[in-house]
A and B are shown apart, each in its own frame.
Chain A
Amino acid sequence: MSKKTLVEATINGEATEFLCEPRQSLLECLRDVLELTGSKEGCLTGDCGACTIIVDGRVVDSCLMLGVEANGKTISTIEGMAIAGQLHPLQRKFLEHAALQCGICTPGFLMSAKSLLDRNPNPSEADVRYALAGNLCRCTGYDKIVRAVLDAAAEMRGCGAGKAATR
């Protein structure tokens, strides 16, 4: 067993410390060490996006980042998306539009979509499809996912900036 390293990071707004082996991916640390199993493993090669999280404001595949690389970083995972029990508009729109079937890809899609809307509150359908191209869904054919993101963006624009998480 190789020596473990102490990593300090802010995860979903909480200052967090964890121990990990350098060979453990950040995904593995989130899932197996921190029990944040909402980020999923689909390929371990950065091709499916099921493990997508946001690190220092940017989406990354957490399977292609080492846990030790998270030191000092600010991380958001799907577990932090709903705030105080209030679903984010994207989460609500995914439900209203039936934008998920099996649901394994959903956390990754939501993180990618959130990152898109954080940067571009008024995306075109093409923008949405480009931003979500790193997330594979095998169930839906993407149609309802794209509609849900566009609808969430419209709602969030209507409600003004900064009120996203509280309707």
Chain B
Amino acid sequence: MRRRQSGDTLVLIEAQLTASQRGLTMAETAASGNFKVIGTRPVRPDGVDKVTGRAKFGADYSFPGMLHGKVLRSPHAHALIKLIKIDKALALPGVKAIVTSADLPEAENKSEQAGEMAVNPRHLSANILARGKVLYDGHAIAAVAATSPHIAEEALRLIEVDYEILPPVMTVDAAMAPGAPILIADLRNKEEGDKPTNVATHYQFKRGDVEAGFKSADFIVEREFNTAMVHQGYIEPHNAVGIYNADGNATIYCSTQGIFDVRLLSSQVLGVEVGKIRVVPAEIGGGFGGKTTVYLEPLSVLLSKKTGAPVKLTMSRAEVLRATGPTSGSKIKIKMGATRDGRLVAAQIWMAYEAGAYPGSPVGAGAMTIVAPYTVENFLIDGYDVVVNRPKTAAYRAPGATNAAFASETVIDELAEKCGIDPLDFRIKNGVQEGSPQVVGPPYKRIGYLQTVEAIKNSPHYKSKLTGANRGRGVASGFWFNAGMQSSAIVNIHPDGTASVVTGSPDIGGSRASMAMIAAEVLGIPMTDVRPVVADTDSIGHTDVTAGSRVTFATGMAVYEAARDAARQLVERAAKAWEKKPEEVELRDGMLHTKGNGVPPVSIKQLAPRFPRTGGPIVGRASLNARGVGPAFACACVDVEVDPETGKVQILRATVAQDAGKAIHPSYVEGQMQGGTAQGIGWALNEEYFYDAKGILRNTGLLDYRMPTCLDLPAIDAIIVEVPNPGHPLGVRGVGEVSIVPPPAAIANAIYRATGVRMTETPMSPPKLLKAILRHRSSAANAKAAG
């Protein structure tokens, strides 16, 4: 989804998303079941490169004379920079250049849309090299280029920085408290007038009359939830190679989700025209939203400009954790009411998300998703975007929605229990379907929410009986908007009748396969005859980020249109050769036929050699700003076993159902569902940013930032639901994000059934769960004694 600009305003959104929800009138919506390529499971076109080590990721690039850069980072959470002395570091043999924020132009203080995010260039610049003040442990201060990474690292130790340490503000409570230290002196919001504040934006969404709603409720559940800041955890650290040429042009090789965003953001930070920067996409080793902004890219160009040599920068894992976008920790107070017969009638929600050092948490999205799967007649939702002395957050798979669903899906479980209704039936009773109102905007078009819940209800997993002590089963649902935005595609027909598909969408999880499959389907040729290419910013039209579950939807739509453009040209060429009208010729299964009798059909392979004589090469093109986004829903079922003496949770079984609209390559759709579920499980159980009292991050490695290993997870059953998206010619919805949303709540609900304890904070790690179990036991014992 396109997030709202985080201006300094109270945003009252009554009718947003109108455009993106308006179904695009496509010439045709594919009749299901007649596909030859779509829906099959071919080997991905880039597969051999990826299993032989040949695929070139960003850190694998090197150039003659290349220097290595390293970044000096703040050891303090909040401090003024009084002085930076670099002379000793510069004197170290092998050191070629050092840059600080003094080497960057003053960037504009404004908010503008860049891909999925609202970006303030001044904040972005200050995040890349701190300007006068550091706002978190790990904040970049200076960068060194040297002849080896070891020398660059040693040089960092020789840079002297004088700090005036300020009190760290680590939580939304601390940041919103009266008299809290202010992080950004000129930050204002509309409600507080000219008063300095740490609250960047207050969002509010409402429907109906909440008070009246609660009056009509028979059961009300009110709880407060806290979720810890977590990281996307991609295995590949950030990287960039910058090459600045004496003619003023620069090239950046990097692993990014959005080459055009890297170009735009780098141009803003460096004060260089967009057209002078070319960004070349390397293979990307995971991103999950975290590689949609820039950190090293502008520095690589800046250091290259200063040294005249190519400069490569790569982050260590500690740098990734300390200084790149995690997603927000949050505090959510939620009150929901239902009637005795299980109808949700009211919800009142207060939510505050940690933005990190600069504004821009996904609280707006969180607020818009928190009751999105349900038809609640009355709600009032307030969301606050709050700056704290933590790294600036970045998008993470369905940003904002997982925090929100942890709260709402737990409370819904509790309401279902109070009503004596099966938790899935409760969801079906209140679930949204075509025509139900969205939180904002017009009613939903065709969606598959209820189908995902039914799929879980009918799954072998949910139908099985869970036995054994300390075990429990939980379910939960999730919603995500998905995104449209801009994409471009080119389809070239080669002289041998094969084709290439050129897009600007970095392939983060197998999208080359779905692009090739869509083109093959349209052209009627085998998928192996289509070679997909991810091009650089000079070689393809603007294409927004590989994020928001948008590549198969939006870039897929562009590929579909470009392939149809090529097909149209093929028909024209054949018609020309046969001296027929184009209407009399059609392309079917890779063969050009005349309608009616006459000429024997000709294959694309046979026609292709004749291109030079019939008008030249055939290049299909499409560029679009995709409308008709189809929202995604998922429902998950998880079985757990709790060790009641240690609080440790084992995941015994997990099943996820998700509406894909149409699964182009089912294996990669399942992969997205399984991967999102795994991340949701990690978020639920053990992942967290652990800061000490001084605001220093203590778990800066993958030993103590605990992502699930394969021994921590069971096989994850993925049930693909296909309710075609009416806004896409192939019925596609995005599939990349929503599966992360249900697991934390599903696990909390399972833990409740295993132990009787309602968990209201993540991670539900052994110490936290044991504490809750012991508290629950002693209060139960007290109640018994009192009774």
Residues of A bordering B, CB below 8 Å? 1, 21, 23-24, 31-32, 35-45, 47-48, 50, 77-79, 81-82, 87, 91, 94-98, 100-107, 110, 125, 128-130, 132-146
Contacts and interface: CB of A to CB of B under 8 A. Distances in A.
12 contacts: A37-B56, A37-B57, A79-B52, A98-B670, A98-B671, A101-B286, A102-B283, A107-B53, A129-B710, A133-B711, A138-B286, A141-B671
B63 to A, nearest CB: 12
B581 interface: no
B47 A42 contact: no
Given A1-B93, A42-B317, A129-B711, A94 B51 contact: yes
Contacts of B672: 101
Given A45-B702, A133-B710, A141 B674 contact: yes
Contacts of A143: 674, 713, 715-716, 718
A137 B713 CA distance: 12
Contacts of A128: 710
Contacts of B595: none
Give the one of B43, B57, B236 with max A CB within 10 A: B236
A160 to B, nearest CB: 23
Given A103-B285, A144-B667, A144-B674, A48 B53 contact: no
A139 B60 contact: no
Q: Mostly helix, strand, loop or mixed at chain A's interface?
A: loop
Contacts of B57: 37, 40, 104
Given A31-B59, A102-B508, A103-B46, 9 more contacts: A1-B151, A37-B53, A40-B235, A47-B701, A91-B52, A135-B710, A136-B235, A138-B232, A141-B716
B677 interface: yes
Give the one of B675, B678, B707, B718 with max A CB within 10 A: B675
Contacts of A31: 59-60
Contacts of B443: none
Contacts of B510: 98, 100-101
Nearest to B287: A102
Closest A-B pairs by Cβ, 6 of them: A38-B53, A104-B285, A141-B678, A98-B667, A141-B674, A103-B50
A37 to B, nearest CB: 4
A141 B410 CA distance: 24
B710 A44 contact: no
Contact of A95 (B51, B509, B701): B51
Contacts of B287: 102
A144 B674 CA distance: 9
Q: Mostly helix, strand, loop or mixed at chain B's interface?
A: loop
A79 B101 CA distance: 42
A40 B60 CA distance: 9
Contacts of A94: 47, 51
Contacts of B716: 141, 143
B234 A37 contact: no
Give the one of B48, B147, B677 with max A CB within 10 A: B48
Contact of B60 (A37, A42, A100): A37
Given A31-B60, A45-B701, A97-B667, A106 B41 contact: no
B463 interface: no
B316 interface: yes
Nearest to A28: B149
B106 to A, nearest CB: 35
A91 B51 contact: yes
Interface string B228-258: 0000111111000000000000000000000
Contacts of B679: 138
Contacts of A95: 43-44, 47-48, 51
Contacts of A136: 235, 702, 707, 709
A140 B435 CA distance: 35
B668 A138 contact: no
Contacts of B316: 44
B40 to A, nearest CB: 12
A78 B52 contact: yes
B62 interface: yes
B633 interface: no
A40 B702 contact: no
A145 to B, nearest CB: 7
A125 B711 CA distance: 10
Contacts of B286: 101-102, 104, 138-139
B703 A105 contact: no
Interface string B489-514: 00000000000000000001110000
Given A138-B679, A142-B710, A77 B59 contact: no
Contacts of B125: none
B234 A138 contact: yes
Contacts of A130: 711
A102 B506 CA distance: 10
Give the one of A32, A81, A104, A134 with max B CB within 10 A: A104
A141 B709 CA distance: 9
B150 interface: yes
Contacts of B41: 98
A40 B284 CA distance: 12
A50 B93 contact: no
Nearest to A39: B53
B39 interface: no
Given A36-B53, A48-B235, A101-B671, A142 B678 contact: yes
